[in-house]
Chain A
Amino acid sequence: MVAAIDPSRLIACPMCDLLHSARSAQDGERIRCARCRTVLESSRPKAIDRTLASAATNVILIIGALFFPFIKLEGAGSRQNATLVDALSAFGGGLTAPLVLVVAAFIVIIPLMRAGALCYTLWPLRFGRRPYRHAARAFRFANSLKPWSMAEIFIIGVVVALVKVAGMAEVSLGPAFWMLVAMVAVLVLENHNFCRWTIWRILGQDSTV
């Protein structure tokens, strides 16, 4: 029986290992695992176009969020415009340095690397060309970075911090904050339009990947 199985015509559920015969999802359809109900494949028309568009948008938004004013602070007779770059480079000694490193990684470096890796993987596929060298590695890298990109959590953090300093100073949010909010919205859309199994199948058609 085992000898009769053709692996290329099967998929296994990543959550429970159950085998299913592989087929493409039709319009709007979601194929779920028969045992644990995990989504195995969903129909995502234009998955490549849309993922590429949101990744490129994210690169622009992150760079904008770095250099536009993030927060305006008025209080004690002084007035300040702070960008994220100011905030990240204003660290002193002691424990501030590791903290700033963690924050910079989670909200700037990792999202930027992820969006960059997605663009690199998907750009040639968009035009029906062969994937660039190491495209599989780049796409794997992008997927593994996903849980570590935390812009949405940072936004909640900003709001909590504003509540905490509400009495001490007049604080208003600048365009960079709203760029981060837009980035989170784009990420939600990207998640919705993204089916990594589909993209892997397209990447895998070229054996030189």
Chain B
Amino acid sequence: MSAANPANTSGHLLEIKDLEVGFRTSRGEVKALNGINFTMDAGETVAIVGESGSGKSTTAAAIINLLPGTGRISGGSVLFEGRDLAKATRSEMEEIRGKHIGYVPQDPMSNLNPVWSIGFQVEETIKANGLASGRKEVRAKAIEVLQQAGLADAEKRLRQFPHQFSGGMRQRVLIGIGLAAKPRLLIADEPTSALDVTVQRRILDHLASLTETDRTALLFITHDLGLAAERAEKLIVMYKGKIVEAGPSLEILQNPAHPYTQRLIAAAPSLASRRIQSAGVSLGGIEHDVASSAEGVDLIAAAETRVEQLGAAAGARPAIEVDNLTKVFKIRTGGLRSENFTAVDDVSFAIPKGTTMALVGESGSGKSTVAKLLLGLEQATSGTITIEGRRTEKLKGRELLALRRAMQPVFQDPYGSLDPLHNIGNTIAEPLRIHGVGDRASRRDRVTELLDQVSLPRVIAGRYPNELSGGQRQRVAIARALALKPDIVVLDEAVSALDVLVQAQILRLLADLQAELKLTYLFITHDLAVVRVIADNVAVMQRGKIVEAATTDEVFDNPREKYTRDLLDAIPGSGIKMGI
């Protein structure tokens, strides 16, 4: 595998020709990729975008021949430096992986083996690729690799285990592993999707500088258009296993030719947020064709509904009032000692009835702890929570049950929060059963009503969670939360795991439901772009404290705190002008 491979006549580093991938199922082979063609040259950064299920991750896996389950390459070729990897033997692939093609996986939480130390996992990469020999040299190389990936105190951390690392640090380890052998091509599959915007930016900057120094080609897979446009010269848009559009990034974003790309751009909240703002400020001067993007209109409509709501709610008693809320955890520092960690530090806020407050901040800022305290899943150390005029800290038994009835949660992971063994109808009816509402027949009617409310077909009641898409599952979770006709819904990262198109639909649904049912939302998220389209008020949390709280427009237009500005600047694609 030298650079001067005589068979490499095309001169491209990577050339994918008519690539087809099929998955064997009980009903025959299902095609996941249908004739993919693209090329990459040394030092080039190419981004593949598309929603989940579009085949972008499958393309990445096919290149290094690590297709999951029953997947196999059923046609075409993957020419890497002129050599067809689709026909390579197992040992040839083992030689190429790691050494010539590096890979940075999507989810830093599940991609490191929990039972081995970080050092062990980096060192085995170094040994497998023959980068160093001898215990001391391997160790030194491992430290070097981790330091390059941006882990400053690498030497101390070698003996630590993945669970002792934060998501960002784990992703740095994975990037270090991927780049350890200075491969000519690095495939990064959603390398930062699981991370906060600020961490995301630091990691991507770092990745860019590393690949630049070594002229490593970077194949970057993401569902975030803004991110792709900011980071890649070339953009490939995939839809249902096909490339629908490819070309220079800015050109595609400003003049999308394919309707799917147009929808994708319209739905991306990081870009849409600019539009809502301009719609409010200068109604006459909008350049884009509103009618061409359905989701865009909905978001504007949602924003208008919100303004009306806000006017009505002013002066009324707040639905939620939180005063001087503090939560201290004991964390173990080794041995039998422990020290106090203040997760929530003297937090106060009030949410007027029928409005939405967004609580934003990086992970670890305490925003989810606030949600847990509010829902009564954790006990506050001090401070009070007043819901609909009633203090909650001393509620027990029946009163607590009544409180839960008025306040329902929707959680982040639509895969994890539905019981796979219960069908959708039973899942939605469960809160009704627990609270003893109605009889069997009336509960069934209510389930049908709820399914209509969240725009799901009624037949879905008999299906099971694994038969549903992520967006449908999140709708089910919302329907379940609404079953008891609550006044307050706590949404903890409720749309963070969803694709842009689905995200836009869910946000629209939430806005509609709020207008219809006078709901009060506490919306917890790390994604400021989403905040712009859904929230009336924003509270920014940093290290357990609320550092800034104001109306959404104030926070976005005149952020007072540096931390808020950093969060805003870190929204990918915020500096790029979009054209639809």
A and B are interacting partners:
no
Residue positions of A touching B, CB distance < 8 A: none
